[in-house]
Amino acid sequence: MNLRLPTFWKHVITVLGGALGAQALPLLAAPLITRMCTPAEMGAFSLWLAIVAVAAIGATLRMETAMILDHETEQQRTCFGLVLYTATITAVLVTALVTLAHLVDMPAIRQLSWPALLTVGVGTWLTANMQTTLAYATSHNAFGKAARAKVVGAGTIAVAQLLLLAAGIGAEGLLAGQLIGLGIGLIAARRLLHPPAARIGFILGAEARAYLVRHRKFWRYALPSNLLNNMVGQLPLFLIGMHHGALAAGLYALTQRVLAAPISLLAASVLEVFKRQSVHEFETHGHCKQAYRYTFKVLMLLGLAPSLVLLFYSPSLFAWVFGPAWRDAGELAQILAPLYFLNFVASPLSYVFFVTGKQNVDLWWQLTLCAVTVTAFLLPGTLHQNLLWFAIGYSMLYLVYLHMSWQCSQNRLAAA
């Protein structure tokens, strides 16, 4: 495939425009929010948000990813119906599970209030359906409309949280603002994109079951792989809260949020375009190495400068932007900056495993990463020492990941 670079950049800029709005608004609101709530309150809210993020992956069975490959209206209607069904069941189950965990006094979950426990399923349901709607937009190159929907949702979250915190509601203000923004963002996305209406029923129909069978690699390999990836991403927050307390968890939560911003903003924008380019090249030539190579260079170019700034100036920047109480979060950011640079480059390129049908390879890598993460945080030491071991092990695995994905883009990687 002769990759049209102007078209590539046009799509990236379109997605990036929406991502800028979606990420800039929360980041602009963050200095105000950090002065209106404590690190402990931020830690509890981030724990709730982490549970929602992981549960939403399971709620979709990763079927929304298959929608990129199926463009026919009836197939996409079936996908929407399937996700609606699984998201509803998952929402009920996750609410019951976290409530039970709270009743048995699980260390991490006991930090959550009852409003947080009873709304985790609602957040899961809204997030899963929003992810599916945005996948529909990607399948039709509707990047502009998806961008507007993201801005509406993110803007509503930021404004609602600030207003509720200013009203003195406290930690529940963060929670309520998130739910309000998720709901309005989903409504905006559906009105802008007009996806096919899902068929609703108490049991899965024959079409939905056939859809599951046809795309079984997604729930058999991609689902556990993505669950592991998200769990590993949130696992440090859980373990830090258990071993070092809510204050440390809140500091790490802000660090994670700031470092993840370039990934959510720039890398995710490139990923949306890479999905289309890689699928087209692979279907045409049996490989997608040209799209991979160009995307790799773009990610390196975009990610280097922000990572260097964070590496050298994080403590001072965090204290200045978020307040003196959050300077320690900047010290954590210095330790994690190289890791997040590798994450910025490698994560979007991992889509090549889906394109080439090598989801099982990605799954084995995620299992290894999970083991490395747990080991790093079980080692005795201070918070800084645990994070350093975590960053070293994770970074080494990312180098292996990049090598495997490059081989996969050439269709030269044998299935594990």
From first to last of its 416 residues, the chain has per-residue pLDDT tens of 444 445 555 555 555 555 555 566 677 777 888 888 878 788 888 889 989 999 999 899 888 877 777 778 888 888 898 999 999 999 999 999 999 998 988 877 877 889 999 999 999 999 999 999 998 987 887 877 888 888 899 889 989 999 999 888 877 899 999 999 999 999 999 999 999 888 777 788 788 888 888 888 777 877 877 787 777 778 888 888 777 777 788 888 888 887 876 666 666 667 666 766 677 777 777 777 777 788 788 788 888 888 888 889 889 988 888 888 888 888 999 999 999 888 888 887 777 777 777 767 777 787 888 888 888 888 888 888 999 999 999 899 889 888 888 887 777 654 43
Q: What is the dihedral of CA 310, 316, 319, 320, to 10 degrees?
A: -100
> Which pLDDT does position 406 carry in this prediction?
83
Name every residue whose Cβ is closer than 8 Å to that of residue 85 and which is 6 or more positions away in sequence.
200, 201, 204, 208
CA distance 298 to 300: 6
Q: Residue 250's Cα: distance from chain center in Å?
A: 19
Q: What are phi and psi of 206, to 5 degrees?
A: -65, -40
Question: Which tens digits make up the pLDDT trace of 294-333?
Answer: 878 878 888 888 888 888 988 998 888 888 888 888 899 9
> Which pLDDT does position 20 carry in this prediction?
58
Name every residue whose Cβ is closer than 8 Å to that of residue 98 and which is 6 or more positions away in sequence.
51, 109, 112, 117, 120
CA distance 274 to 329: 33
Cα torsion 170, 175, 176, 178: sign: positive
Name every residue whose Cβ is closer than 8 Å to that of residue 413 and which is 6 or more positions away in sequence.
356, 358, 361, 404, 407
> Which pLDDT does position 24 carry in this prediction?
64
- What six digits make up the tokens of 120? 């985790």
Cα torsion 74, 76, 82, 88: sign: negative
Are the C-beta atoms of residues 13 and 147 closer than 8 Å to each other?
Answer: no
CA distance 92 to 86: 10
Question: Which tens digits make up the pLDDT trace of 149-184?
Answer: 888 998 899 899 999 998 888 778 999 999 999 999
Q: Got the DSSP string for 139-189?
A: HTT-HHHHHHHHHHHHHHHHHHHHHHHHTT-THHHHHHHHHHHHHHHHHHH
Beta strands in 13-147 (DSSP E): none
DSSP class of residue 77 equals H
Mean model confidence pLDDT for the chain: 82
